[in-house]
Structures are given as structure tokens and as C-alpha cells.
């Protein structure tokens, strides 16, 4: 994040302190992570538009990677309770010129997750189960 973007984030928070500066910085990094992940998954290397739902999933995945089982507590600390809360930060950064939106994008695209902490816990449980399964497969020579 460059100084111009950081200054814009501080200006956003000074006008509306509902979400702290750290939350905006995290969402900005989560957007970059998601865009990179989508590009990598498509193996084309071509940048494409990422939808609100893709951003939301990617940002939650990024939270799991960054904070592990503390992620639900971190999200709650930042006042992220629903998908709309993350959407609010994304759209504040769009308004400040940090991020951009397509002509069909809407804040409502972030709706659908009414319990962000619960969704985060499900992601973490799934990751733990997958890790345990992989460990079991490795111990048993790939046979369970």
C-alpha cells in the first residue's frame, strides 16, 4: 500500500470511524490476494473483474491464512459482523479511488453472509479437517 492509499484510508476513517484503519488495510490486502488467486486459478495470467461474492470469499480465506483461529476474533474486533460490513469498506475505498468497481457492481453483492464469525469458523473447521485428512493420508501411504 502506497502513501497515497494510506492517506485516503485515514481520511475515510476520520469521516466514518466505524471500521478502524487496520480493517481497511486488511481488506485492501485481501482484495489483492483474491485478484491474484483468481488469476492464478484461471492460469491465464489475465486480470479480470472480481465479483463482490468472490471478494468476500477471498477476503475470508485471506483472514484464515493471516490469523488462523484468531480470525473470527479479529473480524469482530474490526466490527465486521456481516458480508455487508466488508462491502462497506470496499465501497468506501472505491469512493476514495483506491479500488474500482464495474458498472454492474453493487454494495448488495456483499450480502448473503449475515454471520461473518460463523462463516469464518466454518472455513477454519474445513481447513483443519482437510489438513488432518492430508496428514492421515501421508501417514498411511495415501491409503485411509
pLDDT, tens only, 36-68: 888 776 666 566 678 999 999 999 999 999 999
Higher pLDDT, 143 or 37: 37
Instruction: Say if residues 115 and 82 touch (Cβ distance below 8 Å).
Output: yes
* CA–centroid distance for 63 within its chain: 6
Give CA–CA dist 134/3, Å, rounded: 42
Give CA–CA dist 34/11, Å, rounded: 25
For 77-114, the pLDDT digits (tens) are 999 999 999 999 999 999 999 999 999 999 999 998 99
Closest CA to 53 of 25, 87, 79, 91: 87
* The pLDDT value given to residue 7: 97
* CA–centroid distance for 48 within its chain: 17
Q: Taking the model in full, what pTM does it have? A: 0.85
Give CA–CA dist 136/131, Å, rounded: 9
Amino acid at each position: 500500500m502506497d502513501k497515497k492509499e494510506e492517506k485516503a484510508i485515514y481520511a475515510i476513517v476520520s469521516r466514518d470511524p466505524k471500521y478502524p484503519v487496520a480493517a481497511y488495510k486488511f481488506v485492501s490486502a485481501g482484495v489483492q490476494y483474491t485478484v491474484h488467486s483468481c488469476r492464478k486459478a484461471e492460469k491465464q495470467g489475465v486480470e479480470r473483474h472480481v465479483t463482490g461474492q468472490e471478494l468476500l470469499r477471498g477476503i475470508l480465506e485471506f483472514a484464515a491464512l493471516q490469523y488462523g483461529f484468531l480470525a473470527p476474533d479479529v473480524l469482530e474486533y474490526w466490527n465486521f459482523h456481516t458480508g455487508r460490513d466488508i462491502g462497506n469498506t470496499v465501497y468506501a475505498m472505491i469512493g476514495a479511488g483506491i479500488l474500482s468497481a464495474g458498472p454492474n457492481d453493487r454494495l448488495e453483492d456483499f450480502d448473503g453472509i449475515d454471520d461473518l464469525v460463523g462463516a469464518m469458523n466454518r472455513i477454519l473447521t474445513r481447513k483443519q479437517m482437510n489438513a488432518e485428512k492430508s496428514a492421515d493420508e501421508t501417514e498411511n501411504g495415501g491409503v485411509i
